[in-house]
Amino acid sequence: MMQMLKAGGMELLADSSRPPDPDNPRGYFEYGPVKRLRRDASCFDAATGKAVKVIHALVTAIPCDRDVRVILMRRDLAEVVASQRRMLARRWGSTDVMSEERLVEIFGSQLRDATHWLAAQPRFSLLEVEFADLLEEPLPVARDVAAFIGGELDCEAMAAQVDRGLRRSQPD
């Protein structure tokens, strides 16, 4: 999604703190200070008018004193866990901390909590995007995102960023 927003003409709040690697060859488009969001939300002062990536576990730390548009990417959680396990195994070896089923359960619970919290914020707008839909029909999704953002984004350029070949972790 961050690649799409950038290609569409939106400015990103991102740095090179996590450069491209074999697990994510196009990069992560992250902004390092967001990792400290629970302790220090001042990094959001620089986010006005820009897209910034926030993981689901930190969504509830986003300051509520401003208008925020949130694009929530929905992806099969078993696929997410499988992808993360492969990445962690490649970097650090064993990933036998807990079962995939338990991780899916935990992630699902965290995501439900974050979604409920987002819906309760009066100054937040929420657009949920299904990852599978984005892969199958990128142009309509790009148009939905552009309409949600409310800016003049290049939807064709956004859709052109979608590369199904980068989806290496698929559900059974």
Name which residue leads in pLDDT, 91 or 158: 158
CA-based nearest residue to 102, from 78, 79, 84, 86: 78
Provide the pLDDT for residue 87. 73
Task: Supply the mean pLDDT for the chain.
Answer: 90
CA dist 151 and 158 (Å) reads 13
CA dist 148 and 133 (Å) reads 17
User: E-assigned strands of the chain?
Assistant: 68-74, 124-130
pTM of the model: 0.88
Q: For residue range 3-17, what is the model confidence (pLDDT) as tens digits?
A: 999 999 999 999 988
CA dist 123 and 145 (Å) reads 18
Looking at residue 148, its amino acid is: F
Whether 169 contacts 86, CB under 8 Å: yes
Q: For residue range 15-64, what is the model confidence (pLDDT) as tens digits?
A: 988 888 887 788 889 999 999 999 999 999 999 999 999 999 999 999 99
